[in-house]
Structure 1
């Protein structure tokens, strides 16, 4: 089953950062799922994308997110933009808003960043969709939560466990997550926001590969959005690393204050050596459990291709979302447009192991979802 997102547009989808660690996989997956969708791979050094673009029938263009108007010099107006790179000064997303170009951004996770974009949207009043897919694995945590909550009917809490590995591949934007680990965040607990320290409350949890590991609380976007969009009083996300020593090392950096010190520009090399060393690859996964007083249901995702591949899949679903003709203008989040049957089928087709526990029927579309045609 292909995710239904409307007829193939004549104008291209612009993938900014479409040739990096995650972006290259995004571009290939888009071509596999939508053979006739026009694709343009954008970035500061498009020459690095030439071989990839040639292999998938895409073109390249220079897009500098550091410029005030990154989209001003495009030779052709895109049908939509998928931002796979960090946009630290909000130039790309605001430029897309002003031009009325639909945009999906997978790097919106920090509370301050979400607040800034919400205020910018109030100012710009974008006439096109602005889809923020910054929860873990580019929105897959939120989509899985939506599937579990809809099956349960009414959930009192959602618990999410992310399984990652320090031996997996990471891109240059990985420090963005590490930096957030240094500061408090505000998850919903019993219907109220409560300040919480990342890497606190260590406890043993069952991971999607069936192994019980230590896991610690972390701040992620779905802890801000899912309580309101899915009406769940408590949403908590934890990080488990395949190496227990690596997790405890990260906790030690947090408790000693070293993570805050590493944010200083002069410690860039030290930060890179400690937290930005890419591995050769490892598996990754996600477990989402929705529960109430009488029942619980779970969605487990396990990807042998690792976290970059899972993030790429989430980004592809986000791109399909903004290309869909029924996506409303303005800001939206993955939970609002989740299509559990299509979402989970897309993951299975891409090689992700998907396990459902406690479901009484196969996941179906949201009742408000209208019929759409596939991109050819």
Structure 2
């Protein structure tokens, strides 16, 4: 599909937005991109590095984002926290596909309501999942080995030196302020937990156990509804990653544990780690790029107007191919903890 207008990436000179733009440039060399940020010099440097890209400044307090009326775009990507939701409104009023990654489960209600009120206007991809949906997609790919899934447990280690740029750190601070409770699915019921129930040990790839806790994250309802699993939990620990303990860069580590029944109906369990030696940044960028590619119709059928999540639009097997392509690896883990 030819794109004559540009993808507007709000926060495109930041870590997640910039790396997503670089992936899109690699996959689709002729795709026009617009890097939008508050610092025009930084945005222009990014645009120059990408090629076939322009740079603009934006004002998220304005409904027109401070952009000239004669500028036209093919999609809007919010790779930062837009507390006025003006990026979404800008996309809706112009009928443009929209993607966001920073609302999180605890802040998503205003975005959902705004999207629902104009559901006919444009496709909206809500990707405020861990790494913009990359973990959900990797889990769903692993789930193909089971005929029935009873339990999903995701255990993630975020290195304290790998919390992203200022925007990423601000997201984590807001989410932790909003709630210290975790959201799990237990026996088919979405349940808030706190106190001792929220605490969890998270085991790193080298066997080191870090203290963590269940968190309220969109991965839980996405995986529960996509698989029908009655028990879903996402545990999260911040600490030194296995990569840094080896004297290398901060690494990305997510353990995916699945329990259920295999093709013959017998009990079946599988456990594996999704690892990247360069931390969470490449995976978050990949999640964004996969979403943009899909929204633009560069892969797959046209996306209809309405509210979407990553697993409803993106093929998990294709996502895993792209994960491996950017240097992620899957490592087997012992089933018994």
Aligned residues: 316
Conserved 8 A contact 2:202-2:235: no
Partners of 1:299 and 1:16 lie apart in 2 by 34
**SS of structure 2 residue aligned to 1:76:** coil
Partners of 1:189 and 1:326 lie apart in 2 by 36
Aligned pair partner of 1:176 in 151, 171, 175: 171
How far does residue 90 in structure 1 lie from its aligned partner after superposition? 1.5
Conserved 8 A contact 1:29-1:316: yes
Partners of 1:153 and 1:337 lie apart in 2 by 22
CA spacing shift, 1:67–1:351, aligned 2, 3 Å: same
Partners of 2:36 and 2:206 lie apart in 1 by 36
How far does residue 204 in structure 1 lie from its aligned partner after superposition? 3.1
- 2:41 maps to 1:47: yes
Q: Match for residue 93 of structure 1?
A: 88
Instruction: Name the one with the larger strand percent.
Output: 2
How far does residue 297 in structure 1 lie from its aligned partner after superposition? 3.0
Partners of 1:200 and 1:15 lie apart in 2 by 40
RCO comparison, higher one (Cα < 8 Å, 6+): 1
Partners of 1:209 and 1:334 lie apart in 2 by 30
How far does residue 346 in structure 1 lie from its aligned partner after superposition? 0.8
- 2:240 maps to 1:243: yes
How far does residue 342 in structure 1 lie from its aligned partner after superposition? 1.4
Q: Match for residue 31 of structure 1?
A: 25
Partners of 1:284 and 1:50 lie apart in 2 by 30
How far does residue 177 in structure 1 lie from its aligned partner after superposition? 1.9
Moved more, 170-179 or 63-72: 63-72
How far does residue 238 in structure 1 lie from its aligned partner after superposition? 0.8
CA spacing shift, 1:206–1:56, aligned 2, 3 Å: same
Unpaired runs of at least 5, structure 2: 242-247, 262-266
Conserved 8 A contact 1:199-1:217: no
**SS of structure 2 residue aligned to 1:204:** strand
How far does residue 316 in structure 1 lie from its aligned partner after superposition? 1.1
Partners of 1:133 and 1:145 lie apart in 2 by 15
Q: Match for residue 193 of structure 2?
A: 196
Q: Match for residue 70 of structure 1?
A: 65
Q: Match for residue 244 of structure 2?
A: none
**SS of structure 1 residue aligned to 2:23:** helix
Aligned pair partner of 2:55 in 60, 64, 70: 60
What is the correspondence of 1:100-115 to structure 2 with a 5 Å cutoff? 100-111=95-106, 113-115=107-109
TM-score (norm 1): 0.76
Moved more, 102-111 or 284-293: 284-293
Partners of 2:75 and 2:122 lie apart in 1 by 9
Query: Residue deviations 1:312-365, cap 9 Å, x none?
Result: 11111121121124322111001112312211111111111234679xxxxxxx
Q: Match for residue 143 of structure 2?
A: 149
Conserved 8 A contact 1:199-1:216: no
TM-score (norm 2): 0.85
Q: Match for residue 288 of structure 1?
A: 256
How far does residue 299 in structure 1 lie from its aligned partner after superposition? 4.8
Partners of 2:142 and 2:118 lie apart in 1 by 35
Aligned pair partner of 1:351 in 319, 327, 334: 327
Q: Match for residue 223 of structure 2?
A: 226
- 2:160 maps to 1:187: no
CA spacing shift, 1:121–1:199, aligned 2, 3 Å: farther
CA spacing shift, 1:308–1:45, aligned 2, 3 Å: same
Unpaired runs of at least 5, structure 1: 1-6, 245-279, 359-376
**SS of structure 1 residue aligned to 2:162:** coil
How far does residue 203 in structure 1 lie from its aligned partner after superposition? 3.4
Q: Match for residue 213 of structure 1?
A: 210
Partners of 1:72 and 1:18 lie apart in 2 by 15
CA RMSD of aligned residues (A): 2.5
Query: Residue deviations 1:247-267, cap 9 Å, x none?
Result: xxxxxxxxxxxxxxxxxxxxx
